[in-house]
Every structure is written in C-alpha cells, then in structure tokens.
C-alpha cells in the first residue's frame, strides 16, 4: 500500500509551482523545503519494511533546506517538526506525523496555495488507512474537497465530499457525516440547484441540533446564509450568517463568515455595517487572501459612495501587493469601476480590459462576463452612479451593532 501511495503522490504541483519561480523569489525556499520534506517522507515510508535503512544523509539535506527558510516564517517550524519526527520515530508509519502534515496543508491554504495544499492532503489520504485513522482520513479528504472547489475543479470536489461522507458513515461518525452533507449542499449550490441545497441544509441543521454538533451547526448556518443570499433574501442571509458567527470558534472560519456578512450588507447598500466588518478583516484576518479580498471590497465601497481619496488609498495599497489570480482580476475590475465613477473613462476602460483578458486567459467565465458587461457600459460613456446608502433594517440592526463593536475593538 505504501509503495503504491508513493507512486500516486509525485508532488507535481510543487514542481510546477517551483518552475514559475527563481531562487531569488521569496517563495522559493519554503516551497523547495516543503517538496524535499515530502519526497523524504515518500522514501522513508516506501522503505518501512527495512527499519534499519539509513536516511541520515537525506534527513541532513532536508534539514539544511528547512533551516534556509527565513526564521519567523511559520512554515519553518512545521517542516522542522516533521523532519524531527521522521528522524526520531522508532517505527516508520505516518500516523504520528499526519497532524503535522495537516498543519502544513492549512499553512499553505493561508497563503492561498490551494494546489500545493491539495497535494499535501492527498499525501495524507494516500498513506493513512481509514479503518485505523478514520478521523484523520476524513478531515484530510474534506480539506482536499474544499481546495478542489476553490480551484474550480468541481468534479473532483464532489467525489471528495462523497468519499468523506462514506468514510464517516462507515465508522458511525454523525458529526462528520453531517459535515460532508454540507459539502453536498455546496455542490448543489454551485450547480444552481437552490431547492436541493436548501433542503440538504435544513435537514443538516435539524440533525446537528439533535446530536449537539455546534461546529457543524455553525457551518450549516453559514452555508444556509449563502443560499438565502443567492435567492436575493439579504436580510435572512444576514441573520443566518450572524447565527453562524456566534457559534464559530475557529478564527479562520470566523473570518469567512464575517466576510460573507460584509458582502450581504454591501448588496443591501448598508455600507456602514459592511465597512465595519471589512475593516476588521483587513486588519486581523488569519489568511492573506481574506485580508486582500476585504481591502478590494473596501475600495469598491469607496467607489460606490463616491469617495475618491479613500478609493485611491486602497488602490495604492493593492497596487504594491502580491495578488492571487482571482484577487488580481477583482482589483482590475474594481479599479475600473472606481475610475468610471470618478469620470476617468479611458483609465476605466484600460483596467476593465485587463480584468477581462486576465479572466478569459484563465477561464474565469463569470468574471470575464462581468468585466465585459461593465466595459461595454463605459465605452458608451456611462458612469457608475453613486449608490445611496440605506439605513440599517430593523430586522438586522443588532447585527450591524455587533459589526460596529468589532471595529471599535481595533482602536
């Protein structure tokens, strides 16, 4: 099984990513150290039957690569811990190392390195036996599904969610079965089947309350908010999301719920509450991707409110940032939106053309369509009309107050 797993996990994602870098790039050292660690792990486990084979030379080489990662870089400590475990464990098995590998995968997610994170989770799944380590196998499969979905690989994501659900059912883990069902709801939503997504989530909410799975309840409320938003039910979406926020303990998941809450307020033109939530995220979010996305949305609010100095402040911040692809497309789009609002139509067209071309080149169809539609309006001489901010609806006033309190805590 181990040898077969090693053949299935060649870590092509790391080779591909390194092929786009030079040794002077900041990402080179942590990424190359991660690849060397994974290849050491493959060799170490492939020779598990020979407990006396010597890996001292390989371990020294990997440790040198890890030590070359700048101190203070979080991934350095994670990789060093994995190498220490490989060196010290008396028996060659992945079980004691798997939690550290999960931590490595999550650290890659924090940097929006979804393809690399997927590779790490696939490694865990390949080397763990679901009958011996069911929880670890299910968790890694769920993270893998999330990464596939983020990458737009929906067929792979759907298969991973179904496998996670089957594994959870086989060991009778009700909470993880419900978690996997939320994945099924996400896939129904992606396919545009809102009634199916709603039905799955309502059933999941009821069952999660029965078994007392609060973390699953939080996730189900969050996804239920997404479905309500897709139906145009903004106030219901805000209430569901706030229910999720109050149940969420993970800082990372809290950031995601808070970001969606800000989006629901934005779409309701309740800019004051949206801005409060986004300012909290831009300053404190665990993931760089979320911090950048929050800054882009703050720039968009400034454009829609007609505040050119604030728009320029955020635009300049983003101009010097290293942006993931989806964020880069959004920056070009929102910059074009702002330039249109402020009457700089030639600059607006230039930015929107860049957004359209970049999105089209990477098959981001929805973003391509949105950029093309706005570009057509600007070419006709249309300027973005300033949005009129609305008062906070009474039904979600307490949620807006909570956003204001969160922002006040930044001071």
More confidently predicted of 383 and 346: 346
pLDDT at 170: 93
Average pLDDT, integer, range 206-235: 93
pLDDT for residue 2 is more than 50? no
pLDDT for residue 280 is more than 50? yes
pLDDT at 8: 53
Span 390-410, pLDDT tens digits: 788 999 999 999 999 999 998
Span 239-261, pLDDT tens digits: 999 999 999 988 989 999 999 99
pLDDT for residue 4 is more than 70? no
Residue by residue, DSSP assigns 28-70 as HHHHHHHHHHHHHHHHHHHTTT-TT---HHHHHHHHHHHHTSP
Residue by residue, DSSP assigns 296-333 as HHHHHHHHHHT-HHHHHHHHHHHHTS---HHHHHHHHH
pLDDT at 315: 96
Percentage of residues in the chain with pLDDT exceeding 90? 71
**Whether 267 contacts 234, CB under 8 Å:** yes
Mean pLDDT, the chain, integer: 90
pLDDT for residue 389 is more than 90? no
- CB count in 10 Å sphere of residue 25: 11
pLDDT for residue 80 is more than 60? yes
pLDDT at 139: 95
Encoded tokens for 55: 């890996």
Average pLDDT, integer, range 221-243: 95
**Whether 91 contacts 131, CB under 8 Å:** no
Span 298-330, pLDDT tens digits: 999 999 999 999 999 999 999 988 888 889 999
- Which are the contacts of 220, defined by CB distance < 8 A and separation ≥ 6? 178, 182, 201, 204, 205, 208
pLDDT for residue 339 is more than 50? yes
pLDDT at 50: 59
Instruction: Please give the Cα distance from 262 to 241 (Å, whole number).
Output: 10
pLDDT for residue 388 is more than 60? yes
Whether the model clears a pTM of 0.85, i.e. scores above it, the answer is: no
pLDDT for residue 6 is more than 60? no
- CB count in 10 Å sphere of residue 312: 14
Residue whose C-alpha is closest to residue 120's, from 20, 28, 12: 12
pLDDT at 390: 77
Average pLDDT, integer, range 66-84: 91
pLDDT at 281: 97
**Whether 186 contacts 223, CB under 8 Å:** yes
pLDDT for residue 9 is more than 70? no
More confidently predicted of 334 and 46: 334
| Angle between helix 134-150 and helix 154-171 axes, rounded to 10 deg | 160
């Amino acid at each position: 099984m181990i040898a077969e797993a090693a053949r299935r996990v060649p870590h092509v994602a790391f080779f591909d990513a390194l092929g786009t870098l030079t040794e002077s790039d900041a990402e080179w050292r942590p990424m190359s150290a991660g690849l060397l660690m994974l290849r050491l792990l493959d060799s170490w486990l492939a020779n598990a039957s020979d407990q006396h084979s010597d890996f001292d030379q390989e371990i020294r080489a990997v440790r040198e690569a890890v030590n070359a990662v700048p101190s203070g870089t979080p991934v350095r400590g994670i990789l060093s811990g994995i190498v220490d475990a490989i060196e010290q464990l008396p028996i060659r098995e992945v079980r004691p190392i798997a939690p550290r590998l999960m931590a490595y995968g999550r650290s890659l997610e924090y940097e929006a390195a979804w393809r690399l994170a997927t590779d790490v989770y696939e490694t865990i799944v390949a080397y763990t036996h679901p009958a011996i380590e069911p929880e670890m196998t299910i968790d890694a499969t769920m993270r893998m599904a999330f990464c596939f979905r983020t990458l737009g690989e929906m067929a792979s994501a759907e298969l991973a969610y179904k496998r996670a659900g089957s594994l959870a059912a086989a060991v009778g883990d009700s909470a993880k079965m419900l978690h996997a069902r939320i994945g099924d709801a996400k896939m129904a939503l992606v396919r545009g089947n809102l009634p199916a997504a709603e039905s799955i989530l309502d059933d999941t909410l009821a069952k999660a309350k029965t078994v007392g799975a609060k973390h699953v309840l939080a996730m189900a409320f969050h996804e239920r908010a997404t479905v309500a938003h897709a139906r145009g039910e903004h106030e219901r979406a805000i209430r569901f999301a706030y229910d999720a926020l109050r149940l969420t303990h993970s800082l990372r998941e809290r950031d995601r719920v808070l970001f969606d809450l800000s989006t629901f307020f934005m779409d309701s033109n309740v800019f004051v509450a949206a801005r409060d939530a986004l300012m909290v995220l831009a300053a404190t979010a665990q993931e760089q991707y979320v911090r950048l996305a929050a800054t882009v949305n703050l720039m968009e609010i400034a454009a829609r409110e007609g505040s050119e100095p604030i728009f320029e402040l955020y635009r300049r911040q983003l101009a010097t940032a290293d942006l993931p692809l989806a964020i880069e497309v959004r920056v070009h789009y929102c910059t074009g939106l702002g330039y249109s609002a402020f009457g700089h139509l030639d600059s607006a067209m230039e930015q929107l053309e860049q957004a359209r071309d970049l999105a089209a080149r990477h098959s981001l169809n929805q973003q391509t369509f949105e950029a093309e539609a706005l570009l057509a309006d600007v070419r006709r001489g249309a300027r973005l009309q300033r949005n009129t901010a609305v008062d906070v609806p009474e039904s979600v006033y307490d949620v807006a107050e909570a956003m204001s309190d969160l922002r006040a805590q930044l001071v």
